[in-house]
Structure 1
Amino acid sequence: MKKNIKRFSAITIIGLFLLIVNACDDDSELFTITSNPTAPVLADLGFTELTLDAVNTNNPAINLNWQDASYGIQAAVNYAIEFSSDADFTAPITAATTTGETAITLSVAEVNSAAGNAGLNPFEWKPVFIRIVSSLGTTNSETVASNPIQLNVYPYFNYTFNDFYLVGDATAPGWENNNNNPALFRDPSDSNLYYYTGRFSQDGHFKVLSTKGLWQPQYGTDDGTTVGANLGGGTDPERFPYGGGSGIPEGFYTFKINFATNTFTFDSFDASGKTSPASLTIEGSSTASVAMNQLAFDGHIWYVNSVRLTPGNIEFVTDSGAKWGSSTSFSGVATDGGGAIPVIVEDDYDVWFNDLTGRYILIPLNL
C-alpha cells in the first residue's frame, strides 16, 4: 500500500511539473505585430457601371483582387468586403469575408443584396463604394482598411418577405383557396410575425395558406397551441384554432402567428362601438386616387386587387378627409396623420387595410 502511494505521488508531481513547463512555454497567443501595418490595396475593376440581372442571380458579378495586408508576422489575415453608399463609409455593410485569400468573386445576388443593404434603391443608377478591411485573429483585431473603389450599380429589387392568406368556413372565402382570400398583416419590425383581427363566423375553423390557389404549403394546429405545417407531400395539420373539435363562437378575434417559434394565439377582440368610414381611397404620388372595397363578410377589412403603384408614397384617405399612413413600406400600422407610406418599387399590388387596427399590407404580384 505504501509503495502505491509513493508511485501515485511521483506521477502526480511529474504531471504537475510538465503542466507548469508547458504553461510557461505556451506562447501561441502571444505575438508582436508591426506598429504600422500595411493596408491591403484593392485593384480597380476595369469597368465603372454594372447592371444587375434579376434573372441570372447566381452568375458572377464582380471579381475583387487586392494586395495582401502586412502585419510583420506570419499569420492568416482576415478580410471583410465592405459596401457603402458614401466614400466615407459612414454606415458600411459587410458583403462577404475570407481568410488568407486575396481575391473573391461575388455573385449578382450578393452584389444586389449588399447594394440594397447599403441603402441603394432598386432600378436607379447610384454609386456604391467598396473596400477591403483586414484584421487578425478570431476577434478581428487590428483592422486596416484598403483604398475604396467606386462602382455605379443598377440594382433590381429582391422581395424577401412571405405572404399568407386565410381559408376556412370561419372566414370570408370559405374552403376555397383562390377566392379573394384575406391576407395576414405582417409585423413591420418582425417578418416572422403576422396578425389578423376581424370577424370569424359561427362554428367555423380556418387554416393559413402560403399561395392563393394552392393547398400547400398550409398551416394549422394539431394541439391548439403550436403551429403544424404541410409544406408539400406531407400530412395536413388540423384546423385553427383548436386542432379540430367544435367551431368557434361567432365574433371578432385577433389571430397572431409566429413562424419563427411555430406558436399562435387566438383571442377575443372588442369591436363594439368601432365604426368604419363610409369610403376609403388610396391616394399619393404613387397612383391616382383608387377606391378600396369593403369585404362583405367584414366591413372593417378593405382591399383593392392588382393596383399599379410606382415609386413614391400613398395614404389611406377616408370620406371625412382623415389620412392614415406610416413610415414603413410593404406593411405596417397606419395612424391618422401618421405620414405617407413609402412605395419603393413599381409593381402591381394587392393592398389590404384593417380599420380596426390600422394595419396594412402591400403585396407585390410580380416580384
Structure 2
Amino acid sequence: MKNIFKYIMLLIPILFIWSCQDDDDKVIASATSAPIVLEAESNAVNLDPNYKNNPALTLIWSHANYNVQVIPQYEILFSLSEAFENPNNVFNTSNRNKTWTVEEINVLVQEMGMAPNEVGTLYAKVISSLGDQGQLAMESNVVSFQMTPYTTYSFNDYYLVGNATAAGWNPNNNNQALFRNPNSENEFSFTGYFDSASAGDMNEGRFKLIETLGMWQPQWGDSRNEGEDAFATSGDVAGNPGTQDGDPGRFGVPASGYYTFGINFNTLTYTITPFDASSATVYDRVGIIGDATVTGWDGDTAMMRNTEFDPHNWYLHNVELENGEIKFRANNAWDVSWGSTTSYSGVGELGGPNIPVTSGVYNIWFNDLTGEYQLIPQD
C-alpha cells in the first residue's frame, strides 16, 4: 500500500509538467490574408434571354489564409451600391468559385431592385470566416459588373375565338385577351358582349380559347365532345394538348348579351354568368397616361375598340412603354380614371393609384365595365 502511494506521488509532478507543456503548445487561430477575387471573366455581363441557361458571371478567389489548418467558409455578397447598403447574401460555400447562369442573374438582380431594360451596376465581394459563428471574418476587394436585365414574364395568356366573339373563328383577328387575376396567375375572366346570331342554334354563340395568336394549338374548351356540348353555365375544361389528344368541345351562350366568363386552370373549371350592362356609361374615349408613355402626364394615348360589337372593351397594340407608371382615364380628363398597384394585370379602381410598368413593347387591354387591365409584352 505504501509503495502504491509512493508511485502516485511520483506521477503528480510528471503530469503537471505535461499539462504545462500542452498549454504552451496551444495555437490561437488568427487571420493572415483576406480572400482576393482573382477573376471575373468580364465586367460586362451579357444577359441574353435567348441563352438563359448559358453561364453569365463567374467569380474565382484565392485562399483566405489563417495560421491554422482549417477550411474557411466563404460568403458571397451582391449589392447595387458600392458601399454595400442593403447587401444580398447570395451564396455560402467552402469552394473558391461560383458561376451563375443568365436566367439566375437576371432574376436575382431584379429581385434586388435593378430595373429591367436599363443598364445597371452590380457589386460583389467575398467574406471568409471560421466556424458556424463566422469568427475571424475577412473581406475581399470589391468588383463590379454592368448588365441590362431583360423583362421576365412567365405567365400564360389566353384569347377568345369563336362566332360568339368579335374575332369569329379566326385565331389571328385582334382576338380579345382574357384578364388574369393578379392574385392567382391561373385564374382568368372576361366580361363583355357575346353574340348568338340565332338564339337556340347549337352552333351559334360558341367560343373557345387559344394561347397563341394565329395558332390553333394549344386550345381550350368544354370537356365534352363537340356535338354533345349543350349550353351550360358551368362545367369542366379540357385542352389539346393539355388534357387530351383531340380538340375539346365549345363554350357557349344561348342568347346574345353581356356575360362574365371565368376560367380556373388550377381546377379546370369554368363559369358563364349573365352581366347587366344596361346602365353602364359608354365613354367617348379611354386612354393611357403616365410617365411610362411617350407623352408623359401631359396627355393620354387614345385606346381603340370595336364600337359596333362591344364599346366597353379597349385595346392598344405594340405600344412602347418606359419604366414608370400609367393610369387609364376616360375622355382625356381626370374626372374618371382607373389605377391599381399590380403590374401586367389587375383591377383598376376609380381614382386608384398609379400602375407600375416595366419598359418594353406591349399589347394592352382594358375593360371599363370592371376596371380590369392586361399588359402582355411583345417579343
Normalised by the size of structure 1, how large is the TM-score? 0.73
Give the CA deviation at 1:109.
Answer: 1.9
Answer whether contact 1:130 1:149 (CA < 8 A) is retained: yes
1:1-367 matches, within 5 Å, as 41=35, 43-46=37-40, 47-65=42-60, 83-86=78-81, 88=84, 90=86, 92=88, 94=90, 101-130=95-124, 147=139, 150-202=144-196, 203-222=204-223, 225-231=235-241, 234-240=245-251, 247-285=253-291, 286-288=293-295, 289-295=300-306, 296-319=308-331, 321=333, 322-347=336-361, 349-366=362-379
Give the CA deviation at 1:214.
Answer: 0.4
Classify the secondary structure of the residue corresponding to 1:123.
coil
What is the identity, as a one-letter code, of the residue corresponding to 1:229? G
- C-alpha distance in structure 1 between counterparts of 2:206 and 2:146, whole Å: 53
Summarize the Cα distance change of 1:283–1:102 in structure 2 as closer, same or farther, 3 Å threshold. Answer: same
Classify the secondary structure of the residue corresponding to 2:236.
coil
Classify the secondary structure of the residue corresponding to 1:206.
strand
Give the CA deviation at 1:271.
Answer: 2.2
Answer whether contact 1:81 1:131 (CA < 8 A) is retained: yes
Task: State the superposition RMSD in angstroms.
Answer: 3.8
The C-alpha deviation readout for 1:258-309, integer Å capped at 9, x for no partner, is 3333333322323231112121122233123422222231111111222333
Classify the secondary structure of the residue corresponding to 1:252.
strand
What is the identity, as a one-letter code, of the residue corresponding to 1:278? D
- C-alpha distance in structure 1 between counterparts of 2:72 and 2:193, whole Å: 62
What is the identity, as a one-letter code, of the residue corresponding to 1:338? G
Summarize the Cα distance change of 1:287–1:93 in structure 2 as closer, same or farther, 3 Å threshold. Answer: farther
Structure 1, gaps ≥5 residues long: 1-34, 136-140, 242-246
Farther off after superposition, 60-69 or 266-275: 60-69
Summarize the Cα distance change of 1:334–1:82 in structure 2 as closer, same or farther, 3 Å threshold. Answer: farther
Classify the secondary structure of the residue corresponding to 1:115.
helix
Summarize the Cα distance change of 1:262–1:306 in structure 2 as closer, same or farther, 3 Å threshold. Answer: same
Give the CA deviation at 1:218.
Answer: 0.8
Answer whether contact 1:42 1:64 (CA < 8 A) is retained: no
- C-alpha distance in structure 2 between counterparts of 1:260 and 1:85, whole Å: 37
- C-alpha distance in structure 2 between counterparts of 1:112 and 1:276, whole Å: 43
The C-alpha deviation readout for 1:79-100, integer Å capped at 9, x for no partner, is 8866443455637375xx6876
Q: Which residue of 2 aligns with 1:25?
A: none
Question: Percent same amino acid at aligned positions?
Answer: 39
Structure 2, gaps ≥5 residues long: 1-28, 197-203, 225-233
Answer whether contact 1:93 1:118 (CA < 8 A) is retained: no
Give the CA deviation at 1:359.
Answer: 0.7
Q: Which residue of 1 aligns with 2:15?
A: none
Answer whether contact 2:180 2:346 (CA < 8 A) is retained: yes
Question: What number of residue pairs does the alignment pair up?
Answer: 321
The C-alpha deviation readout for 1:27-70, integer Å capped at 9, x for no partner, is xxxxxxxx999xx9573544544242333333211123357899
Answer whether contact 1:49 1:152 (CA < 8 A) is retained: yes
The C-alpha deviation readout for 1:87-145, integer Å capped at 9, x for no partner, is 55637375xx687644332112221121122211123222324467999xxxxx86799
Normalised by the size of structure 2, how large is the TM-score? 0.70
Summarize the Cα distance change of 1:220–1:93 in structure 2 as closer, same or farther, 3 Å threshold. Answer: farther
Answer with 1 or 2: which has the greater Rg. Answer: 2
